[in-house]
Structure 1
Amino acid sequence: MTAILHLCSTCRTTQNHDALRACLPDETELRLHPCLNVCSKPTALSLQGNGASYLFGGIDPAADAADIAATVRAYMAAPDGVIVDARPCGRLRHCLIGRIPAP
């Protein structure tokens, strides 16, 4: 499964995203998006692919890079995109705002 990460570029626009890009699986596309409307919990990140989608808030792309990469790997390993055991996701499991079912 391919994964697409949308990272809010309005929150903390000066952040360096190289650390995050460097640890993501090859099948992951990182897209900077002007606003994800989660302004009360910067920085926002969404995870989409062929299954369910996820929305996270309160993440730090550099400090949470390893946890984001682990979440992407768990997502890609789930046939329908539903991460059943979120423990490998580290701190990101506490930043989850919601899961949107696949269409």
Structure 2
Amino acid sequence: MTAILHLCATCRPGVETGPLRDALPEGVELRLHECLNACGKPVALSVQGRGTGYLFAGVDPVEDAADIAATARTYMAAPGGAIEDARPCGRLRFCLIGRLPAI
């Protein structure tokens, strides 16, 4: 499975994405996206693919780059993107604010 990460470009304009891009595994695309509507806990990030999707808030794209990459790897390895054990996701498991069912 491949994954698309949408990083809110409104939460922190001009946020440095280089360290995050460098940390991401092959098969993950990083896209900046205008407001993800999690303004109370910036920065927002979503992971999406051909299955379940997730929305995170309170993420630091630079400091959390390794945990974001681990989450992407865990997501791509999970059947249908449904992560059953979030421990490999590090701090991001505590930043989860929503899970979207697959359609």
**What secondary structure is seen at the aligned counterpart in 1 of 2:80?**
coil
Q: Number of aligned residue pairs: give it.
A: 103
**What secondary structure is seen at the aligned counterpart in 2 of 1:98?**
strand
**What secondary structure is seen at the aligned counterpart in 2 of 1:69?**
helix
Percent identity of equivalent pairs: 68
What are the Cα deviations for residues 8-57 of structure 1, in whole angstroms up to 9, with x where unaligned? Answer: 00111122100000010110010000110110010000000011000000
| Whole-angstrom distance in 1 between the partners of 2:85 and 2:79 | 14
Shift of 1:92: 0.1
Question: 1:65 is matched with which residue?
Answer: 65
Amino acid at match of 1:7: L
Question: 2:36 is matched with which residue?
Answer: 36
| Whole-angstrom distance in 2 between the partners of 1:91 and 1:65 | 11
Amino acid at match of 1:39: C
Query: Does 2:89 correspond to 1:89?
Result: yes
| Whole-angstrom distance in 1 between the partners of 2:89 and 2:65 | 11
Question: 1:51 is matched with which residue?
Answer: 51
Q: Cα RMSD between the aligned structures? A: 0.5
Structure 2 gaps of 5+ residues are none
| Whole-angstrom distance in 1 between the partners of 2:94 and 2:70 | 14
| Whole-angstrom distance in 2 between the partners of 1:22 and 1:33 | 19
Amino acid at match of 1:2: T
Question: 1:21 is matched with which residue?
Answer: 21
TM-score, scaled relative to structure 1: 0.98
Shift of 1:95: 0.1
Structure 1 gaps of 5+ residues are none
